[in-house]
A and B are shown apart, each in its own frame.
Chain A
Amino acid sequence: METKNRGDLVINGIGASNGGQFHLVTLNGRGTVNSDLECSEFECNGSGTVNGNVTANTAKVSGNASFKGTIESQKFTVDGTAKIGQNLYAKQLQVSGKASVGGKVKAEEIKLRGILTIGEDCEAETFKAQYRFTIGGLLNADQVDIEIYGECKAQEIGGQTIIVKQHKGSFMGTIFKPFFKTQLETDLIEGDRIELENTIAKVVRGNQVRIGPNCHIGVVEYTEEFSQDKNAIVGESRKA
């Protein structure tokens, strides 16, 4: 993308723009962009609204942003809250605040340290999550690494290596523990190597399956190895 010769769009205070092609786009106050944006860097520090699609090299939301359309960006970082109406395509996706996506998410690397809500499927090469997420469709990633702090949900999970761990709670955490559900809930988990803790699943299928404490699994189907913690409930396990 040749962007060097393009102008910048900067909105400080209250303002609106019709969108278009820019080099840098910065929304600092209450900025509204009324159609599609194409830029090399997008930044939103105040409360921004884009009523269209965004194509960018890097996009960063530190304040509060809402996007009506689809976002395509090499790097997408959310430190504040972001709401995306349709799909999100990014190489690197980092969420430290809160992000919600109405459609699907496609990324190479997803790092989550906040709250992520996805309406449809989520695809990535690596999916690393700490804290909370809700995925309406399939979570499909080569490496799934989940550390549970709160309530996590996905309709299905599939991939090569799937590891779910309970966060080693802090002092405050143990006091308030009864009020929070720290669990992963899903219908189906399929992978080559699966290690689970604190997970509720109807079906788990894999080659090597290790069910850790506080799990509640309906059926486990495995081909090579299976082990079960004494604090786990497994309805049925069979070697396929």
Chain B
Amino acid sequence: MSEELISKKDLLDIAGISYGQLYRWKRKDLIPEEWFIRKSTFTGQETFFPKEKILERINKIQTMKENLSLDELADMFSPNISDLQLEKDDLIKRNIVSIEVMNFYLENDKGVKIFNFPRILEVYILEKLLQSGEINLDEGKMLLQVLKDNAQHIKQKSCELVFTRKLGVSSCLLLLNTEAAHFERGTKVVTTLALMTCMEEIKSKLL
């Protein structure tokens, strides 16, 4: 996976921010550690960033910091979420989940009607894939099981969810910090979903 890199100096120039701001955002975990890529250049060590991602992130921070404090922003970007708890009806009202998917989820997961963030994430992913018609209900059950079994990995790492189908047999897997994945011929990759993006989508819906 090769992406275009941008040096720290150019980044500060383009985004119009100062060293102080960049380091403060890094401290607040607004910019993930993995984006700081060290490389040696002829002037010594320099730090580079994945250009597209960092510019998009800085853009987001700059537009949102007017009405949110840095700590609130940090909550928004960080994968391990605070003690957020919502009722079933709240999720439906906020358009995170439709009623049908919610009922299906509750059928399979005999939990209480209070949702913490991992459960919100599960139901949101389910909603997304079911509504787009990419998976059917049985596959939805499989998906939920994968998400539940690996809940502790999802919290820490940047995960990607991959759904494949071959000769009508479907399979669902979770990739942790992977660069690329290859499948045998004839496999149809139904969908890949970055969980980080899902979390950010949920959070922007919640705020």
Contacts and interface: CB of A to CB of B under 8 A. Distances in A.
Interface of A: 123, 125, 140-142, 158-161, 187-188, 190-192, 202-203, 205-207, 218-219, 221, 240
Q: How large is the interface on B (under 10, 10 to 19, 20 to 34, 35 or more residues)?
A: 10 to 19
B45 interface: yes
B37 to A, nearest CB: 14
Given A218-B44, A219-B44, A240-B9, A205 B19 contact: yes
Given A202-B44, A203-B43, A205-B9, A140 B19 contact: no
A161 B22 CA distance: 13
A219 B45 CA distance: 12
24 contacts: A123-B27, A125-B27, A141-B27, A158-B22, A158-B23, A160-B18, A160-B23, A161-B20, A187-B44, A188-B44, A188-B45, A190-B8, A191-B20, A192-B20, A202-B44, A202-B45, A203-B44, A205-B9, A205-B19, A206-B19, A207-B19, A218-B44, A221-B9, A240-B9
Contacts of A192: 18-20
Contacts of B53: none
Contacts of B44: 187-188, 202-203, 218-219
Contacts of B19: 158-160, 190-192, 205-207
Contacts, number: 51
Interface string B5-17: 0001100000000
A190 B23 CA distance: 9
B148 interface: no
A140 B27 contact: yes
A175 to B, nearest CB: 38
A188 B26 CA distance: 17
B24 interface: yes
Nearest to B20: A160
B27 A219 contact: no
Contacts of B18: 160, 192, 207
Looking at chain B's contact residues, is the secondary structure mostly helix, strand, loop, or mixed?
helix
Contacts of A203: 43-45
B20 A219 contact: no
A195 B119 CA distance: 50
A192 B18 CA distance: 7
Interface in B5-61: 8-9, 18-20, 22-24, 26-27, 43-45
Contacts of A191: 19-20, 23
Contacts of A188: 44-45
Contacts of B45: 187-188, 202-203
Contacts of B9: 205, 221, 240
Contacts of A142: 20, 23-24
A160 B43 contact: no
Nearest to A218: B44
Contacts of B27: 123, 125, 140-141
B20 A159 contact: yes
A236 to B, nearest CB: 9
A140 B8 CA distance: 15
A101 B84 CA distance: 32
A235 to B, nearest CB: 11
Contacts of A207: 18-19
A123 B30 CA distance: 14
Given A158-B19, A192-B19, A240-B9, A219 B43 contact: yes
A12 B20 CA distance: 48
Nearest to A238: B43
Given A160-B18, A205-B9, 15 more contacts: A158-B23, A160-B19, A187-B44, A188-B44, A190-B8, A190-B19, A191-B19, A191-B23, A192-B19, A202-B44, A202-B45, A203-B44, A205-B19, A218-B44, A219-B43
A202 B44 CA distance: 8
